[in-house]
Structure 1
Amino acid sequence: MSEQENFQAPDLLSGLDVEQRLAAETLRGPLCILAGAGTGKTRAITHRIAHGVHTGVYNPTSVLALTFTTRAASEMRTRLRLLGAPGVQTRTFHAAALRQLQYFWPQSIGGTLPNLVEHKAPLIAESARRLRISSDRAMVRDLASEIEWAKVSMHSPESYAKVASSRDLPNGLEAVSMARIFQTYEELKDDRSVIDFEDVLLLTSAILEDNEKVAANVRSQYRHFVVDEYQDVSPLQQRLLDLWLGGRDELCVVGDASQTIYSFTGAKPDYLLNFGAKYPEATVVKLVRDYRSTPEVVNLANKVLSTRRIETSMPDPTVTWPEPLELIAQRDHGPSPEFFEAADDEQEAAEVAQRIKALLKNGQDVSEIAVLYRTNGQSQAFEQALTARGISYVMRGAERFFSRREVKEGMLALRAALNVAGDQPVSQLVRDVLASHGYAPEAPTGSTGAVRQRWESLSALVRLADDLVASRGAQGDQVTLRDVVKELEDRAATQHAPTLDGVTLASFHAAKGLEWDVVFLAGLSDGLVPITYAKDQAGYDEERRLLYVGITRARIHLYLSWSLARTPGGRAHRYPSRFLDGIKSVRQASSRQQAPVRRKPQKLTPLVCAGCGSFLTTAKERKLKRCSSCPAAYDEALFESLRSWRAAVAQSNSVPAFVIFTDATLMAIAEHRPSTLPQLAKISGVGRSKIERYGEAMLAVLAEYAG
């Protein structure tokens, strides 16, 4: 170890807070870092690795840092290079496994590794056709997700058939049909000598288990492991990690159970939560100082988790709720989060776009604004609203940048131009080459969807060339078209996409790991957040965590909105997300510069519980004017008297009891105990016709009970 390296090591720790420094100095043995959103976990683990390298504890090539996205791996790799530890291997689970599989396949299995299929859809669609099961694109996508879940949960088609009956299967398929599709898909892959991404992990695990020589080789190469986002590890990934470790405990894991949002893919926070039980001697460090967001944003995020409640209609004693990390904001105060309610989706999108336009007018960087929503199908309204106001936007979470057709075509065109490039400046040459494929200096007017994406993709290639010329030129280097092509090829190999310029439109899931100065969380109504197919306590808890992830993407400005109807003039049957209960009162969205809404005026402020102040989201709750969690205020004996009276009336009229009055209406009557017909008429569910039919009799029952 040189004097220079000894001198650098303390500097790597000087900028860390107390908890980050403790994590960075713990170089040996198992280490669990519980890191809340925005608490500098990447900074902590990269400084830890670099500190270990500079002090000689780690050989850089013996460290394997694992992430879940190529973007995160690229960011970590860049940070380590800047910290003087460029030799550390930083990869996703799949990339690390594929590299080993390609190397060891010839000596373990023999022959050539089967080709990797990037998309399952064609094979799954063919599997369904062979079994005469009709499927459209949406169903094929759902079938692919189910097969991926089965494989990362380490189920074969045979073992999957035993658990499928307890799962919600695509399009209401029977368990036996889903298992047969899974089996046919596996047979088709074998027939065509191809493997999928889950097979990469399965085959690598199998080779390590079956071949001690290969396992010893891998374990001698990698001695120290770091796993980021450990709450998202699947059973298959954990199995592979255990095989890499081979019984050793040189493992550092980083995660936050409150950010577990990928359970549908097989991710389980159990490995993070039970780390201490597996490694009793482990050091546990909690990072709770939030450096990303203002105190106002942090307080709202904490409140969303702390107000979690049991859904009384579906109690599940097996569901646990780990104590959330309570974040402590480190930034200066900023504006309070704003809540607004719109009449319909169109007005909500228009209001969001109008606010973005005002922010841009005040100097806000367009690339530091994001609009986040629960499902990708919600993006269309925001695309149209932003386009109508001339605001550029980029879609995130769709097709990978370097997999886009226009990007591939653009790269081929630039590669072909290498043979004819003259003395023209590189930046202009790139523009000229890409102009024939649809590039223009300005965005196409009024375009959305594929047309807009094509222009954005080509513009990103142009900006990348400009950035390369600027950075290399500042160092005195001459940049050629060949340099631009090589930069693109290197980025494509690591899926390091260039930064696109515009407002980011993304789902909550696609926004994980990202952050912006300004975040709009849109469509926060029950049925979307939580989503309708969340049908048990575990599902509702995950939806709450998803909202928490969305909130913690914001650094300074945070807007939360929802609409009462889907379309203009539609029935206002929506209510704000139950996760906002007790957090903030509701305000109607501004309708400035909006066309008049063509429907009867609606009262836009929803009812709240008289007991706890939370929003009332069901018809029964609104009728009783209290939520299902608060105790009943009515006389139960009176309620039973009213039910007995109703049963007698229903029998004499030969109609179902609920036709007379519903239970909820009887509860409300028992609670308010009206003594006159006008008082009785004010109770929800008691209309004019029922007053005429049953009013006097109802008052007689009430008077008799009171007497």
Structure 2
Amino acid sequence: MFIWKDGDLNKEQEAAVMECGSVFLIACPGSGKTRALTYKIAQELSRLGTQKTFVVAITYTNRAADEIRERVEALGVDTSQLWIGTIHAFCLEWILKPYGIYNNALKHGFRVIDIHEREMLFEQLCAPYRAEKISIFDCDFFFTSEGYRLCCLDERKHLRVRQILIQYFSTLRENRQIDFEMILFYAHKLIKFNKNITHILSMLFSMVLVDEYQDTKEIQYAIVAAILKAGESRMRAFIVGDPNQAIYETLGGYPIEHSDFEAMAGIQLKQMSLTRNYRSSEKIIHYFSKYKVYPSEIESFSASKDYPSLISYERGVMKADLLEELVRLVRLNIESLGIAPRQICIVAPWWVQLAGMTRHLVARMPEYDFDGPGMVPFANNIENFWYKLSKIALTKASPGMYVRRLRWAAELLKDLTAIGVDISALTAKSLLRECNAIEIEESDGLRYLRSFFEDIFAALEIDFHLYPTLDEHHEAFFQSSQARIDKLKKDGAEFIGDIVAFRKVFQPRTGITISTIHGVKGAEFDTVISFALLEGMVPHFKDPNGQQNAKRMLYVLGSRARKNLHLISECGRHNGIREEYKPTRQLASCRFTYNATDGS
């Protein structure tokens, strides 16, 4: 049995972890929900009485999955019976791949297309309707258990978009392809019409844990609930999240009510909470709490509780002077307040605002590095074999990375086996040794990866061109990556194709982080600096529930900061019809005594 030391968990965390039944846990920002999840997983793994059952943990991102797995391993607990990843990865691994033969569209095999391939197909299908101003952005959709819903808020375009989607789905079906959203559609369809699937899965899993439940879609709830319902008393659930941080509503995410999930899953969940914030100063908590939508309790237990936080709001900066204002605030925090560069994050609502600004910041402050999730220079498709291999190619052998890289190598061998490649002479360790032996002198990131991929397969004496899946994945990876680099360079990030930028993707951040509000969710920094906080951007001008979602975004933004928070609604930024954007209403109307940062 896994046992922790006194003081590892507070009373709220310990109560949630020790609860024998199913739990519905509402956790405020910085409350240690990841720690509670980690210890719960460790405890459940140590309780497994057979090697035939698994603990399943569903996270919002792959990065979160890696972090939690490594934390569990650091506790000395065997993770061989832990499956952890996103809901899309779960549906692929446990539903589509083993049971796709029961669906006519999947039974002859399928490939998941990446974002670039998706966009190229939509551009082709939208081309005849340019006069009607139909673009690929109008074609976004998400699935519910009843069918798909359009993300386009202009109802005048709906008829044409639905016609385009009919062609889109037909083309994918002809090519035996599915996109990211269709993973959920087919998974739900399979379990709906094949009840034995959920019964089998419920026998395999002892517990399902769901992180960030407030960003979960209805169809995702339906899939998880169906498995829990089939498990009856055999399975338990541990559902964690914060309804105040539900900022993915336009993509179908929403915080389900406790009672609704109970009814859907056919189980009882004990509602519990984590109310102690270990991240932010009392002043920061007081500020972001003003944007709460859900009435939750938050109490500061941070080591920085009494820190004299600077919280500023600037509405008079002109767009032309924005760069100098950002430089001033960065230097103020580093030089006067002693904040490390890696503990500073610059945030804007949209990546298009950040790309050009990043280029100018790099030029103005060459002494600092800049990192960011929006600056990933190659295609991020977790199902693409070459993306998985790039993780090993772009990271160096070191004691701290050994376990992670060994796990990646094992995943690659599993993929090769599924494709039909003979790997009987290989182990994860031997594959890793072959990768570590490759030395390439190349400054261009894509050329480096091409050379690495060729060298490793030459060393393994495997011609990957003989395997259609590997060949298709290879072409898709490089086409998508080149398109992404071209786009980022066009937006102003000329440095993005360099091998240095490639290597940063899988390294801990060392410089100032650049991120969108959605991208910064789940992270924390000593100082957060945000600009373009303007009505029409926060909230988005097409958001029908804009004011409530603006509050949630400001709540997320403010709660990322430990010590200092600087907010800017600049002047002189115009929309497509030359109207000037005004400050975000929820921000402008907030009653708070802000600090001056100019020494006045």
TM > 0.5 = yes
Q: Which of 530, 542, 546 pairs up with 2:549?
A: 542
Q: Which of 266, 273, 297 pairs up with 2:252?
A: 266
Q: Secondary structure at the match of 2:317?
A: strand
- Contact between 1:69 and 1:92, CA under 8 Å: does it hold in 2? yes
- CA distance 1:173–1:125, shift in 2 (3 Å): farther
Match of 2:28 in 1: 36
Q: Which of 346, 366, 372 pairs up with 1:395?
A: 372
Q: Are 1:553 and 2:560 an aligned pair?
A: yes
Larger Rg: 1
Q: How many residues align?
A: 499
- Contact between 2:445 and 2:502, CA under 8 Å: does it hold in 1? no
Q: Secondary structure at the match of 2:529?
A: strand
- Contact between 1:349 and 1:382, CA under 8 Å: does it hold in 2? no
Structure 1: gaps spanning 5 or more residues: 306-320, 416-425, 440-445, 464-495, 593-707
- CA distance 1:557–1:241, shift in 2 (3 Å): same
- CA distance 1:402–1:497, shift in 2 (3 Å): farther
Q: Which of 575, 583, 586 pairs up with 1:578?
A: 586
Q: Secondary structure at the match of 1:558?
A: strand
Deviations 1:375-415 (A, max 9, x none): 2222123541342232332232355756499x979959979
Match of 1:113 in 2: 109
- Contact between 1:125 and 1:135, CA under 8 Å: does it hold in 2? no
Match of 1:127 in 2: 125
Match of 1:25 in 2: 18
Deviations 1:603-651 (A, max 9, x none): xxxxxxxxxxxxxxxxxxxxxxxxxxxxxxxxxxxxxxxxxxxxxxxxx
Q: Give the RMSD, CA atoms, in angstroms.
A: 3.8
Please give the alpha-carbon distance, in whole angstroms, between the structure 2 residues aligned to 1:531 and 1:387: 30
Deviations 1:550-607 (A, max 9, x none): 111111221122222238xx99874464334243356787599xxxxxxxxxxxxxxx
Match of 1:378 in 2: 353
Q: Are 1:169 and 2:169 an aligned pair?
A: no
Q: Which of 52, 73, 76 pairs up with 2:44?
A: 52
Q: Are 1:68 and 2:110 an aligned pair?
A: no
Match of 1:512 in 2: 521
Q: Percent identity?
A: 20
- CA distance 1:296–1:79, shift in 2 (3 Å): same
Query: CA shift at 1:542, angstroms?
Result: 1.0
- CA distance 1:207–1:533, shift in 2 (3 Å): closer
Please give the alpha-carbon distance, in whole angstroms, between the structure 2 residues aligned to 1:36 and 1:574: 31
Please give the alpha-carbon distance, in whole angstroms, between the structure 1 residues aligned to 2:584 and 2:99: 54
Please give the alpha-carbon distance, in whole angstroms, between the structure 2 residues aligned to 1:511 and 1:200: 26
The letter of the residue matching 2:29 is A
Q: Which of 547, 562, 572 pairs up with 1:565?
A: 572
- CA distance 1:502–1:243, shift in 2 (3 Å): same
Match of 2:331 in 1: 357
Q: Which of 485, 488, 499 pairs up with 2:508?
A: 499
Q: Which of 86, 93, 96 pairs up with 1:99?
A: 93
- CA distance 1:292–1:54, shift in 2 (3 Å): same
Deviations 1:224-262 (A, max 9, x none): 111111111111111211222234361110111101100
Please give the alpha-carbon distance, in whole angstroms, between the structure 2 residues aligned to 1:41 and 1:106: 38
Q: Which of 140, 145, 148 pairs up with 2:136?
A: 140
Please give the alpha-carbon distance, in whole angstroms, between the structure 2 residues aligned to 1:575 and 1:518: 21
Match of 1:314 in 2: none
Deviations 1:475-529 (A, max 9, x none): xxxxxxxxxxxxxxxxxxxxx8323432111110111111112111222233433
Deviations 1:650-675 (A, max 9, x none): xxxxxxxxxxxxxxxxxxxxxxxxxx
Please give the alpha-carbon distance, in whole angstroms, between the structure 2 residues aligned to 1:409 and 1:91: 14
- CA distance 1:591–1:382, shift in 2 (3 Å): farther
- CA distance 1:302–1:32, shift in 2 (3 Å): same
Q: Secondary structure at the match of 2:538?
A: coil
- CA distance 1:275–1:566, shift in 2 (3 Å): same
Q: Secondary structure at the match of 2:79?
A: coil
- CA distance 1:524–1:107, shift in 2 (3 Å): closer
Match of 1:454 in 2: 497
Please give the alpha-carbon distance, in whole angstroms, between the structure 1 residues aligned to 2:388 and 2:64: 27
Please give the alpha-carbon distance, in whole angstroms, between the structure 1 residues aligned to 2:389 and 2:296: 47
- CA distance 1:296–1:186, shift in 2 (3 Å): same
Match of 1:366 in 2: 341
- Contact between 2:276 and 2:300, CA under 8 Å: does it hold in 1? yes
Q: Are 1:303 and 2:301 an aligned pair?
A: no
- CA distance 1:44–1:271, shift in 2 (3 Å): same
Match of 1:470 in 2: none
- CA distance 1:137–1:43, shift in 2 (3 Å): farther
Q: Which has the higher contact order (CA 8 A, sep 6+)?
A: 2
**After superposition, where does 1:213-252 map in structure 2 within 5 Å?**
213-247=196-230, 248=232, 250-252=236-238
Query: CA shift at 1:329, angstroms?
Result: 4.1
- Contact between 2:342 and 2:510, CA under 8 Å: does it hold in 1? yes
- CA distance 1:586–1:358, shift in 2 (3 Å): closer
Please give the alpha-carbon distance, in whole angstroms, between the structure 2 residues aligned to 1:60 and 1:36: 35
Match of 1:292 in 2: 279
Deviations 1:152-180 (A, max 9, x none): 46425xxx6xxx6xx8535x643221221
Structure 2: gaps spanning 5 or more residues: 395-434, 449-488
- Mean CA deviation greater in 103-112 or 115-124: 103-112
Q: Which of 243, 247, 267 pairs up with 1:257?
A: 243
Match of 2:418 in 1: none
- Contact between 2:347 and 2:515, CA under 8 Å: does it hold in 1? yes
Match of 2:407 in 1: none
Query: CA shift at 1:56, angstroms?
Result: 4.8
- Contact between 1:152 and 1:235, CA under 8 Å: does it hold in 2? yes
The letter of the residue matching 1:344 is M
- Contact between 2:126 and 2:164, CA under 8 Å: does it hold in 1? yes
Deviations 1:16-64 (A, max 9, x none): 111100000013x321100011111111121112123334579794211
Please give the alpha-carbon distance, in whole angstroms, between the structure 1 residues aligned to 2:250 and 2:581: 29
Q: Secondary structure at the match of 1:223?
A: strand
Q: TM-score, normalization: structure 1? A: 0.63
Q: Secondary structure at the match of 1:357?
A: helix
Q: Secondary structure at the match of 2:566?
A: strand
